[in-house]
Amino acid sequence: MASRPISLVLLTAILLAVIYLVVVPDDFKLTEVFSGSSPSCANNGSAASMTTSTAAQLAADDAVDLRVFIGIVTVPGAYERRALLRLAYSLQPRPAGAVVDVRFVLCTVDKEEDRILVALEVIAHGDILVLNCTENMNDGKTYAYFSAVPRLFADRPYDYVGKTDDDTYYRLASLAESLRGKARRDAYHGFLTPCHWLPEKQYMSGMGYIVSWDVAAWIAETPELRDDHDDWEDVNFGGWLRKGGRYKNVYNEEPRMYDYWDREMDADINCFRHEHRADAVAVHKLKDRLKWARTLHFFNATQGLRPSKMYHLDLENNIYRV
């Protein structure tokens, strides 16, 4: 008898997924995923959503003067990483006077198991943007993303559009502070790499970079960029801006954006890899759970933990007991 409630839950989940796949056909093509609705309010108030505000809050908050959209580039099968990122971003406090909406970016979902499981994520969280492209690293996904966002949000443009990796942790309040007061045209923000090198050869590291809305709109209006990718996409992206005359207001966040480092690593500190900073904008190369745990601990992500008779937690000494 104990198995009946579990069976009913599983049956309900499968039924919801099937219904969703009927409503959203054609291999999760981009236009169908957000058919007529904005992802900013697609979560219907879900506590697990990564959005930093609801539509009602945004309408009521006259102090909001900065809106940023960030796409985390990932792949359909990275379920654990998305779950971790949802927690990490949902527990960050809302940046003062700003809205930073964070979404996951996939290409066409074609595997049977991913079609069902990603559909469940969409239903539960409403935080996934599926592009009409074949999954890739350096064969057009960056163009597909930056050209799609202006079309999706044409009715309410953001001030800035960003792209980041799923092994990067942006600190949203620090990001908003770093963008406030910056140019809102021809802006290019991130970590210039190779650091301290020839300026004409530098580009923003793939850990994360942000452009003003007009730059994203220009990309969407320049289809020839789709096939202009003879190098790493992040290198090409900087080249696009130079060739298009958009490489004007360049903001380098060194040393506040950097690769993870700790004393147990067999690597030296350098211009892009060093210890954590309290004023960090983004931390990159969080490739495993331990690096994520140490990073989140440094930035006090568990400060909301309250005493309870259900557990005793001593985070400093790594003691978990009832």
Give the model confidence (pLDDT) of 161-172 as tens digits: 999 999 999 999
Q: Please, are residues 13 and 117 in contact by the beta-carbon 8 Å criterion? A: no
Per-residue pLDDT averaged across 126-138, rounded?
A: 92
Backbone angles phi, psi at 36, to 5 degrees: 75, 10
Per-residue pLDDT averaged across 188-199, rounded?
A: 96
Give the distance, in angstroms, between the CA of residue 136 and the centroid of all CA atoms in the same chain: 17
pLDDT at site 321: 59
Q: Which residues contact 37 (CB under 8 A, 6 or more apart)?
A: none
User: Average pLDDT over the chain, rounded to whole?
Assistant: 84
Choice between 174 and 317, residue whose per-residue pLDDT is larger: 174
- Compute CA distances 286 → 69, 75, 121, 294, whole Å: 22, 16, 23, 10
pLDDT(208) > 90: yes
pLDDT(90) > 80: yes
Tell me the pLDDT band of 67, cut-offs 50, 70 and 90. Answer: very high
pLDDT at site 320: 57
Neighbours of 149 (CB within 10 A): 24
pLDDT at site 319: 59
pLDDT at site 39: 37
Give the model confidence (pLDDT) of 278-301 as tens digits: 999 999 999 999 999 999 999 999
DSSP code for 139: S
CA angle in degrees (0–180, nearest 5) for 266-271-272: 70
DSSP code for 308: B
Give the model confidence (pLDDT) of 15-52 as tens digits: 444 434 433 334 444 333 332 233 333 333 333 345 44
Give the distance, in angstroms, between the CA of residue 317 and the centroid of all CA atoms in the same chain: 32
pLDDT at site 315: 67
The percent of the chain in helix, strand and coil, each rounded to the nearest 5, is 35, 20, 45
